[in-house]
Structures are given as structure tokens and as C-alpha cells.
Structure 1
Amino acid sequence: MSIGTEWDGPQVPIAGDGSQAATYALASAAYRDSPMEEIKKADNDWHQSTVKSGRISLFKPNLGEAFSRAVVDRMLGSGRKPLIQSFGSEPQVVVEHCLAANNIRRTRDNQLSTVMVLCGLLVLPGLLLWLLVFQLRTFMAKRDAKRAGALATALLVAVGVVALIFLIRMPFTGFWAWYARASVVLPVLGWFWARRICERAAKDLRARWDGLLSGTSVGAKVPEAVPSSPGETAAEQLRQSLARLSAEQQSNSVFYAGPKGILGMGTRWGSWQLAEDLLPADPTREIHPFRSWDVIRAIHDQLRMLERGPLNTGGFPKPSVRHWIVTPIGENAKAVSRPDGADVEAFQVKPHAIQEICNKQQFGSGNRHYLGVQWTLWDGQLIITMLITVTVLHQTLRIEVTGHALGPVHSLFTSKPSAPTKEVTKSFKPWETRSIKLPLVGTDEVVRLAVRAPLTWYPPALNWLGGSLGLPEPFGLRHAWADKPWRHRFMADDALRAAAPVLRVVHTAAIRVLEEHGVNTDKFGARSAFLSSSAQDPSPRKADLYDA
């Protein structure tokens, strides 16, 4: 897809598409109302999110607010750094859901800003006193976790009693008496008004959260991404940013980060190498010249037939067979740089450049060529990639097959919303407890949302006051929060079973090319048989961690 092609607006599949489970799990984070710190639970050994603390706890964002803002800024921001492909998911869909969640919150915040002006700014002294009370409640909850609820409730009741006495025994007269009464009463009335607004928005957000994970039809509404006239520059820029995101997702350039493996494809769990000398089959004749690309092309054609078999037993689904250009980066690199120049168009390395890299860049610095066969399984939760590279050094031909696996997204993203509840003791049976439902939006949450609302038009100030979420770099939606596939028995079986068929297809195709060019294949055949037997029962290991 070229960045300059026509685009008719967000093409968002609905959540009923079962193959998009990983996509919708990630997208559901945009609608969540849990604490921002929960994102740390989803971090893996290689990629760590950063929770940046703010100055005032009342301005602190929740997970959905921080996640959607961070993802939109990182993936659509002007001058952004390159992204890692999200194999098995659609990053554009996730971004559009983040934009839709931001729109819902923006509508809510506009209404809350009106409430703050009418019931807060006009009676600013009273508003500041009430905010001080809630800030003290938050501080007390942090200091004493066991008695936080009781102390916070007692503080609020005490302030309410004092406020009531103040209203009855007013020390002022005239205008200031009425202004003092309004300063006490209007913020309270504004809280009730704000609570209705917050509950309506919370129900909408939670319904979308649940719908994405339940498979119901939930699409992202992003009207601002569809320009209605030539003069709408903001909409046109957003449309181009989304198109650029989709184009980068289709890039054939990936990055090898040492023990982290190939970013987006997972760590290397297995490696099989066939390396023998190129000797003529007929000692009186020379080998017919050929290049690495000739072997790779034959392997490519044979791998496209993997879904076919002699028996009608299901077997492999249709794989994706692509040529990849792999760029080495440091293990702790925080950014990547994609190939550019005349040989690259719309993030795609051109075929003639791929062929040249395959034939010439086999030793020393520079990018390397790999042929990859990839399966997206378990509704996008498991990515199996087998990479093949062919090198010729002096008289030795080496064919290397490596296995990579990327596991499911963390269970944090697959948890559905649950109604807030609280366990209390029964009145006449203190040894028993019962569960009672709490309001969807609590007292403190209403205050937090109302206080944040007027500042949402300027995110830097809000981030400075309340904190923000830092995404793991180099960033890609799929690999940043992926679990290991080896904890799931069937996923592990699928990854291990793919090794032997691919290995045999690669060796068969390569040996056929060698025979056609007059190469003695006896040693290649013997070595291939040995590797085939060793792949009968492969076991996952950390193939990128060399014991040296």
C-alpha cells in the first residue's frame, strides 16, 4: 500500500471477526478504567513500560486514558520514530479504537468543563476547599491502607457537618453571606451533575471494552479521519498518518536485537544447519554456476505448497511466505532505523535489492536476507516464523533454518470488565459476609475526572501534573506485551511440529537445485537425513544465548 493512495476512511473490521482476537484484546486497553500501574503486569523480560508519576494525584490518569493517549502520540505523532511490525494483529485498528476512546472522553470532558465553570470557577474558594478535602482523603488512603476507607469516610462526614453548621450559623450578611452559601452548595450540586455525566460515559466505555472481548460488533468511530472538504488539513494529516501506519506494517524490513531475537517475531528457539562442500558429481566436469538466490527461489516455490498434502487431514493452513531484510541492532537499542534510498519504496525493499543482498551480503557488516514462512494461529495469539538463509563461502554451501515464536498477548488485555463490588459483614451474622454492588463511578473518580476535564485541551500540562505512560522501545504493539508460547501446551506443540516439515521441504528443494547444477549431493543427503531425525523431537531452547 502506497502512502499516497486514495483512502475512503477507517476500514475497521468488527469484533465478530474471530481472527482478530489479539487485535481486539490490545484495543480494549483504550477503554479500560483500571489503575495505570496495571500495565506493568503485562511487561515481559525484554520490554518494560514506564509509568511516569505526576505532581498531584487528583490529575492522575487511569489505564485507558494513559494508554490511548500514549499509543496515538507514538504511532501517529509528527516526526515519530519507526515502528516494529505487529504480526498477527492490525495496529491501525488498535489506533482507531484509541482515537474513538479519546473522542468519548473528549465529549465527556467538554460537559464536565461546563460543570466546572458554572459550579466551580464562579465559586472558586469553595471549590478549592472541597478539592483540599479530597486531596487529604487520598493522602490518608496512602498512609494507612487498613483503615483508609473508614478514615476517609469520617473526614468527609466531618467536613459535611462543619459545612452544614456554617450554612446555618453564617458569620456574614448581605452579598457575602449568599456567596459563601453558594461556595459551599454549588460544588456539591456540581458533583451530582458531574456524576451523571461520568456514569453515562463509563457505561459506554465499558460496553465497548466488553464488546471487543466478547466478539460483538464494535467498530471504532473516527469521523475526524475522513476529510469532507479539501480545506480540512487536520483530517487529511490524520488520514495520511493512518495510511503511513498501514504501509509500515507491510514493510519487509525487520530487526535482529541479539538475545531478544527478531523484534516482532519473537526469540529464536531452534536452529538447524546443513553445511557441506560443493563438489562436482562428475569429477571430469565442473559444477554449473549458480547463486544463493537460485536456491532460495526454489525453496520459496516449494514452501508455497506446504498447505497441500497426500492426506485430507487438515494440516497446515496457508502460510505467508516472504523475503525479509534483517538489520542488526543492539540488544538495548531504544530506536531503529529502516533502510532508505532508491532501493526502498513505501517501506518496502525492492526485489532487485533483495536479490543483491541475498547473493552478496553473506559475510561482514550489513543487512542480511532471510526467506520466511509464517503462520498466524490461535486468532492471532500465536505467531510461528521459520526463517531460511543460504550462504556460500569458498566451497561451502550452508543452509540454515531457524524457528521463532511469539506468544499470546498478556492476560491483562483479555480480562473483561466486572462491576465494582465490596464485601461487608451481615448485620445479624457477623461471621458471614455478603457482596454489595458499588456505583460504577465512585466519589473520588467523579472529582478526578471533573478536575482533569478543563486541562484535557493541553495534554502536556496534564501529563506534568498527573503523570503519563511511557511505551517500551523500540515500540510495536504486538511484541511489547507478548507472553511466552511455551506455557500453553497446544501452542507449544504447534510451534514444535512446524519444524520438521519445513526443514524437509527446504532440504528437498535445495538438493534438487544442486543436482540440476551438477553438484555431488551424497553428503548433503546424509546430513539432511541426520537433521531430519534430530528434528523428530525438537525442544525449545534459548538459541540466541550463546554459552561463550
Structure 2
Amino acid sequence: MAGFDDRSESTSATGYDFSPGAEIPLTGSSGGTVATHALASAAYRDRDVKDLLAANPDTKVKPPKLSLFEPNLGEAFSRAVQTRLLGGARKAIIQSFGSEPAVVVEHCLAATRIRKERDAHLTVVMLVSGLLFLPGVLLWLLVFQLRRSLAGAQNKRVGAFGVAAMVALGVLAVVFLLRLPLDGFWALYLRVMLVAPVLGWLWAKRICERYAKDLQGRWAGLLSGGGVGAKIPEAVPRTPGDAGAERIRLALQKLSAEQASNLVFYAGPKGILGMGTRWGSWQLAEELRPSDPAKDIDPFRSWDVVRAIQDRLRMLERSPLHTGGFPPPTIRHWVVSPIGEKATEVERREGQEVEAFRIKDFEIQRICDQQQFGSGDRHYLGVQFVLWDGQLVITMLITVTMLHHTLRIEVTGHALGPVHPLFTTKPKARTKEVSKSVRFWETKEVTLPLVETKEVVRLAARAPFTWYPPLLDFLGGKLTLPEPFGLRHTWADKPWRHRFMADDALRAATPVLRAVHAATIRLLEEKGCATQQFGTRSDVLSGLVQGVEPRHADVYDA
């Protein structure tokens, strides 16, 4: 059936690509690189995991049992995204319009692999200094855990009581070394026991700094546009029995198939998940009457009107003037399913009318013609513009309903804004302003070490447990993503705070509305309908749309 974006890939009912030679699924071309890379850069960040609460307050951070095992933002984000999007028992996800979720997941896998390599080296350090000098290592870890507990996991200044406790432990250690109650081998062992962890810390610091440079380089590269691609060899099966790699490959393929689904969900005041809230609505509703009273109207269906509108929308990118104009829009048929505002999950349809998460053509046409009143899913024709390299997604949805003798054409505008500024901040060198030694009334800026002492201790303490992530989740806490989850809409900001983005959203409404009205009136004329009332109403709406301002249409407070 014409008018649909057919796909000829060999897919199963679950949406997986089993074509020969498929290793890692290819991402589509509709995603924007800026939004995708901004989200992917979170996997390499070394900031506080609680910073994500500013981007979305619905994000939950489970507090750690021991703050020494607390993950940073990149570790927690990578772990949460991999589990949510690649987990075997995961729930359905929301499409990420304007970005490529598979690319983000690949970077999370790549960041995890880099950290595993680092942790393998740190584990060797812990084995050398931990097994041979375990009491000394435990004592030092106890000191740092006490410091973090008293001063806060990420606080740079220790409280007065914490300072007193650490000084007291230091004095006791010095006295213990100078006046040992033992002699011989045990006296030497006790002295080395306290010194060996310090040497291990110096070794671990060099390892941490080397990998920190790599992670920050990838973070900065993604945001500057010159970042290297994610390398995930663990997703490419090397032998027929490589079950782990095959599971990752199939999970990535399932993610790409679900991203291409044509079923979206309307969550009340939250709008269409993935497309944003509805900011404007225009309705053309008039009675159908024959233009010639002696003749009846030629019968037609809602689907015929939708097809006529679709053909006219394909001409949007053409203009009589030699200007930039509209970029090529994506015109698709959508099935919209209603869910509750506070729903924590969504369910995708299954059955003979669904293939690879996509509702088939005949079912879409049936919904368009028959499900216009009462319960059930609804059909919308959407024209979508992905602008600003994925930072702005404008979606105009058109629905056609015929009730008794009334034909109603409704056009609604949805806008999804840029990703939160948290994801677009580049790494900065850690500096501190101090007084000069001689001219103490003047100050200077000094560069601090790339990795702090407490960070080296944290990484070294976590390293031996990375082979079993659930244990780290129990000890250090974890990140719980908001539901229903979609990478793009979860971290989206409002587009109206950016002047040019707001202008683009407002300007797109008028040409789309006029194209819809022109196609409708032309079809009505062909079917022998009187179009005078439709034309008058269309002119009124054309005047109103020129002065339109964004409003909260979904909460009906306009």
C-alpha cells in the first residue's frame, strides 16, 4: 500500500535482524548527532551522580550502604542504561526521536569496557597490597570511609570532628611505628603494613590518571564533534557458541526495531511520550453537504482524506522562492494509544497485525476508518522535522474524523526541546585559587591533580567487585531511571527558552495547516461536496495561526 515507509529487511516477529553477516545493527539516518553525542557523553563523565536529579527530578538515586563504593555519574548512567535497554526482561521503551539510542548504548558499553580494563589493573594492585598487607589496607580504607561518612561523599572539606579523628589515627600510627611492642619479623611486617598501602596508592594513582585522560578525551570529543566511535567487540560473536555476544547483538537489534515502531503513547498532560506536550491545536469541522442539491456526494472514507493530505504534505519542501525553506520532513502514519498520566510502563501490541514492533498497513487503515469514537487506539498522520542536529523535534499531527454529517480535521503541534544543559557541558581542568607565597595579597590559580586522592581510593576499593555488579549496586547504591523510559524525552528541556527554536516551532504550524486545508478542500470538491463553509473556516484559522503563541493545550488551561 502506497504512502507507508516500507521496510524490506529480513526480520522476525520479535524485530531481530538475522540476515547473513549482521553483527551490530546499523542506526537510522533520522537521528541528530548533537543530541545523540550529548547523551552518550554522560557515560564517560566523572561527576556526582546526583547531578542527574537536576536534569529530571523523577530520577531516583539509591543511597549507598558504604559511601566508599558510591558510583560516579558515568558509572551509574552506563550501568542503568545498559540494564534498562539491553536487559533480557526489560519493559517496553519509548522512541527517542531526534537521537539514536543504539549509539548511546554502544558508548555505555564502550565506557564500561574501559573501566573494566582499569579495574583489572587496580585489582592487581589491591591483591599485591591487600592480600600481603591486609590489615594495613583495611586500616587505610577505614580512615577514608570515616572521612567520607563525616564530611559527605563528595565534599572537599572535612568537618572538625573528621579532622580530629584522622589526626588522632595518624598520631597513633606514628607512635605505634616508633614504639612497637614486638620485634623481629613481626615488627618489620607491622611497619611495612602501614607503608605498603601508600606505595600501592601511588601505583593506583598512575593507573587512574591514565584512564581518566582517556575517558575525558572521549567525553570532550563527543561534544566537540570529533569524538571516536564506540568500540564494543563484546557485541560481535566470534564463535558460534559465543552466547554473551549474541545476546548483546540481539538486544541491540531489538532496540533498533523498537525505535522504528509506529506506535506511540499519549500520557495525558505529559503529551505524547517522545514527541513532547501539545502546545497548539487547530480544528476544521463543518457539515458535509452536496454542492449540487440534485446529486449525492460521492462516497469516501477518512482514509481517502488522509491520503490526499499526505500527498500534499510531500510538497512542503518545495518553495517558489530560492530560500532554505523547510528541510525534507518525515511523514509517517502513527497509531496513538492512551495511557494514564502516572503510568509507570507501557505495553506494545502483539498479534498478527504487528511485525517487528510495527503495526501493519491494513490495521492502520482500519483504525483510521473505524476507531474514531469511543475506546481504542487512534490514527494520526504526522509530519516531523528534526532540527538543530536533533536538539529540536517538531511534530505536527493530523487526525481525520467523520461523525454523522460532520467532517473534522484537527492539526496539533508537539515540540520536544533540547537535551538538558547538563549533557552539553565539556570537561574542565580542576583549578584552585590560592594566595601567592611572597605577595600574599595577590592570588594565583593552580591546577589540581586530574584524579583526587579520595577518588583513587574509591576506584581501588570498587575494583575487586566489578566482576559482580549487583554487589556494587548493593554496597554503593544505584541509579533508577524514570518510567516510562526513553533516552530522549527523559532528559529533554523546554524549547521555548531558546528564541530561535521557539520561532522554528511556531513557523512550522502555518504552512502545514494550510497544506492540510488545501488538500481537504480539493478532495471535497472532487467528491461533490460544498466547500464554501470549509473555505471560510480555513481562512479564519489561517489568520489565527499567524498570531499563535505556545500554550499548554494538554492541560486545557489556555
Q: 2:438 aligns with which of 398, 421, 428?
A: 428
Show the 5 A alignment for 1:276-295: 276-295=286-305
- Aligned-partner residue type, residue 212 of structure 1: L
Partner of 2:4: none
Contact persistence 1:265–1:405 (CA under 8 A): yes
Distance 1:248 1:11, change over 3 A: closer
* Contact 2:68–2:153 (Cα < 8 Å) also in 1: no
Letter in 2 for 1:493: D
Unpaired runs of 5+ residues, structure 2, are 1-8
Aligned partners of 2:391 and 2:408: how far apart in 1?
A: 33
Conservation of the 8 A alpha-carbon contact between 1:10 and 1:222: no
Identify unmatched segments of 5+ residues in structure 1. none
Would you say 1:35 and 2:48 are equivalent positions? yes
Match of 2:539 among 529, 534, 539: 529
- The 8 Å contact of residues 8 and 226 in structure 1, kept in 2 or not, is answered as no
**1:37-436 matched pairs, under 5 angstroms:** 37-43=50-56, 48-142=58-152, 148=158, 159-160=169-170, 162-436=172-446
Task: Output the aligned Cα RMSD.
Answer: 2.0
Q: What is the CA deviation profile of residues 270-320 of structure 1, one whole-angstrom value per residue up to 9, with x for unaligned ones?
A: 000000011111111111110000000010111111100111111000000
CA contact (8 A) 1:12 1:219 kept: no
CA distance in 1, matches of 2:477, 2:401: 50
- Point out the more displaced range, 112-121 or 159-168: 159-168
Q: Output aligned runs, 1:422-461, within 5 Å.
A: 422-461=432-471
Contact 2:367 2:378 in 1 (8 A): yes
- Aligned counterparts of 2:401 and 2:88: Cα–Cα separation in 1: 40
Could you report, residue by residue, the CA deviation over 1:485-539 in whole angstroms, capped at 9, with x for unpaired residues? 0000000000000000000000000111111111111100100111011011210
Alpha carbons 1:382, 1:408 under 8 Å: kept: yes
* 1:518 aligned counterpart, secondary structure: coil
AA aligned to 2:43 is A
| In 2, Cα distance between equivalents of 1:146 and 1:277 | 71
Please say if residues 227 and 235 of structure 1, whose CA atoms lie closer than 8 Å, have aligned partners that are also in contact: yes
Please tell me the residue identity of whatever aligns with 2:54. Answer: K
Partners of 1:72 and 1:64 lie apart in 2 by: 12
Shift of 1:431: 3.8
For residues 12 and 143 of structure 1, the distance between their equivalents in structure 2, rounded to whole angstroms, comes to 40
Pick closer, same or farther for the CA change 1:150–1:213 going to 2, 3 Å.
farther
Higher mean C-alpha displacement, 120-129 vs 139-148 = 139-148
The alignment status of 1:490 with 2:495, answered yes or no, reads no
For the structure 1 residues 490 and 425, does the alpha-carbon distance in structure 2 shift closer, same or farther, using more than 3 Å as the test?
same
What secondary structure is seen at the aligned counterpart in 2 of 1:497?
helix
Q: Are the equivalent residues in 2 in contact too, given 1:407–1:484 (CA < 8 A)?
A: yes
CA, structure 1 residues 79+522, in 2 after alignment: closer, same or farther (shift >3 Å)? same
SS at match of 2:399: strand
CA displacement at 1:426 relative to structure 2: 2.4
**Contact 2:48 2:154 (8 Å CA) reproduced:** no
CA deviations on 1:36-60 (whole Å, 9 max, x unpaired) are: 100111116xxx1111101110000
How far 1:443 sits from its partner (Å)? 0.6
- Cα deviation for residue 403 of structure 1 reads 0.2
Residues 71, 478 of structure 2: 8 Å contact kept: yes
Q: Which residue of 1 aligns with 2:512?
A: 502
Q: Tell me the distance in 2 between the aligned counterparts of 1:101 and 1:547.
A: 45
Mapped to 2, the partners of 1:144 and 1:445 lie a distance apart of 10
CA distance in structure 2 between the aligned counterparts of 1:425 and 1:143, rounded to whole angstroms: 27
Deviates more, 1:162-171 or 1:231-240: 162-171
What count of residue pairs does the alignment treat as equivalent? 542
Deviations 1:205-260 (A, max 9, x none): 00000000011141101001111111111111111000110010000000000000
Q: Cα distance 1:438–1:11, how it changes in 2: closer, same or farther (>3 A)?
A: farther
**Cα distance between partner residues in 1 of 2:411 and 2:153:** 57
- Cα distance in 2 for partners of 1:296, 1:413 equals 39
Q: Distance in 2 between matches of 1:147 and 1:262?
A: 45
The 1:392/1:58 distance shift into structure 2, 3 A limit, reads: same
In structure 1, C-alpha distance between the alignment counterparts of 2:441 and 2:312, rounded to whole Å: 70
In the TM superposition, what is the alpha-carbon distance from 1:169 to its structure 2 partner? 2.8
Structure-2 change in CA distance of 1:18 and 1:287 (3 Å): closer
Scaled by the length of structure 2, what TM-score is found? 0.94
Q: Deviations over 1:461-501 (max 9, x none)?
A: 11111111110100000000101000000000000000000
Shift of 1:435: 1.6
Matched, 1:462 2:472: yes
Shift of 1:382: 0.2
Query: How many angstroms does 1:543 deviate by?
Result: 0.3
| Counterpart amino acid of residue 438 in structure 2 | F
Residue 23 (str. 1) matches residue 36 (str. 2): yes
What SS does structure 2 have at the residue aligned with 1:53?
Answer: coil
Per the alignment, in what secondary structure is the counterpart of residue 544 of structure 1? helix
2:19 is the alignment partner of 1:9 = no
Q: Percent identity?
A: 65
Find the aligned partners of 1:5 and 1:283 in 2 and give their Cα distance.
60
Q: Which amino acid aligns with 2:537?
A: R
Matched AA of 2:247: Q
When residues 18 and 439 of structure 1 are mapped into structure 2, their CA distance, relative to the original with a 3 A threshold, is farther
